[in-house]
Amino acid sequence: MKENAKKIFKIAGEAIGVAVLLFIVFYLGFSIGEANPKTISVVGVPEAAEQGKSKDINFSTFWETWDLIKGKHLKGGEVDNQKLYNGAISGLVNSLGDPYSVFLPPEDSQKFKEDVDGNFGGVGMEIETKDGKLLVVAPLKGTPAERAGVEAGDYILKINGEDASGLDTQTAVKKIRGEIGTKVTINFFRDSWKEPRDVSITRENIQVPTLESEMKGDIAYIKLMSFNENSIPLFYEAMVKSLFSGSKGLVLDLRNNPGGYLEVATRLAGWFVDNGKVVVSEQFRDGKKTDFPSTGNAALKDFPTVILVNKGSASASEILAGALRDLRGIKLVGEMTFGKGTVQQLESLSDGSTLKITVAKWVLPSGKTLEGNGLVPDVDVKITEEDAKNKYDRQLEKALEILKKEMEKQGK
C-alpha cells in the first residue's frame, strides 16, 4: 500500500514537473517571439516585409490578406508579387485623398520625366483628377486634342471603351498615350451637352508650345501657353518688339495655361511690380512659410494691363494672375480658374520608383489660398458654343474694351 502511494506521488510529481517545464518553455518561447517577431520574406519583393516602422500598427492583417490573395483568389497564382506590392504602396498614397500625391513605379518614372521635359507622344491635353473625376485642365494649342474640339473642363468618362471613373491621373495618361499614328477613343462629357460623346483622336509627337504674340492696334496681345525654360526669353522678345511697335497697353492671355515652373512666374511678375515684392508664399503643415519674391526690372510697373483667365488656367498661371491682381490691381477677365494650389516634391525611392508628394500649399499676397478655390475673375465672361462655332473671342474683346478705358484714364 505504501509502495503504491509512493508510485502515485512520484507520477504526480513528474507530471507537475513536466507541466512546469512546458510552462517555462512556452513562456520563454513567447518572450523570445515577442522580442523577435517573425519576418516574412516574399520572393521578388526585396525587404517587402520590413516591419516596426509604425509601432501602433499591426501588419499581420496585411500579410493575412496577401496570403489569401495568393492562395485563394482566382488569379492569385498568376499575379506578380511586385505588382501586388506596388499596388499596396499606391493604395497607401491614395488613402490621402490627394490627387496630386502619386506613387510612380520605375516603369512609370520615365513617362513622368517626359512630361516635365515637354516632348512626348500623346493627344496634347493636360488632365487632372478633381472631386474624384477625370477632367481636362487644358488642351494644348495646335495639338490633336485641340483640333478635335476638346475644351478645358471636359470630363473624361471612358478611354477606349473602359470606364475611367476612379482612375488616377497617371493611370489615365498611360491609357491615353500610345504609338504615334494610332488612335485613342475618349468618351467626353461637357456641362452644356445632353449626352456624352465619343471622340477619336490620332496620337502625335507632342511638343508643348510656349508663347505667341501680335499687335491689336496699339495694344500688345501676348498668349503664354506654359511656364517653361523658354517663357522668359520669349516674353522679353515679344514685349520689346511690341514696345518698339508703339504698344500702349497689354493683354496677357493665360487661358488654358496649365502652369509649369514657379521661378518663371516670379520672374514674369518682376516685369510688373517692384523687385522683391512677395509674389506667393509656400505654407507647410507646421505653419512655416517660405516667401518667393519678384525678380526683374519692373519695366511694366505702370503699364496698363489686363489678364485673361479661364478654367484651364492652373498652378503657376493662377499664381501670376492672382499676385498681379493683389499687388497691382490688374483686372482678370474670363472665367474662374482651375484651383491648383499645392506644392509637390519628388522623392526617389530605393528601387528606382518615385513618390510625388504634396508638402505645402500656395498662399497669395492677399492671404488667399488657391487649392480647390481658384480665382474668381473681376469681369466674368463666358464663351458660348455659338461663339466658338463662329470663332468669336468674346473674352478677348471684353479685355480689349476694359484696357482701352484704362489707357484713356492714363492719357495713353
- Contact present, 397 and 358 (Cβ < 8 Å): no
Considering the candidates 340, 351, 382, 404, report the single residue annotated as catalytic: 340
- Residue type at position 312: G
Considering the candidates 108, 154, 253, 326, report the single residue annotated as catalytic: 326
- Contact present, 133 and 376 (Cβ < 8 Å): no
Considering the candidates 154, 315, 317, 404, report the single residue annotated as catalytic: 315
User: Roughly how many angstroms between the first and final C-alpha of the chain, as a whole number?
Assistant: 130
Give the chain's largest Cα–Cα span. Answer: 131
Q: What are phi and psi of 380, to 5 degrees?
A: -85, 120
Our answer to whether residue 378 is catalytic in this structure is no
State the DSSP string of 175-225.
HH--STT-EEEEEEE-TT-SS-EEEEEE-EEEE---EEEEEETTEEEEEE-
Only one residue has cell 493665360, namely: 254
Q: What are phi and psi of 406, to 5 degrees?
A: -65, -40
3-state SS class at 103 = strand
3-state SS class at 166 = coil
Cα distances from 407 to residues 216, 222, 400, in angstroms, run 14, 17, 10
Query: Three cell numbers at 305?
Result: 494691363
Only one residue has cell 473602359, namely: 162
Our answer to whether residue 326 is catalytic in this structure is yes
Residues serving a catalytic function are 315, 326, 340
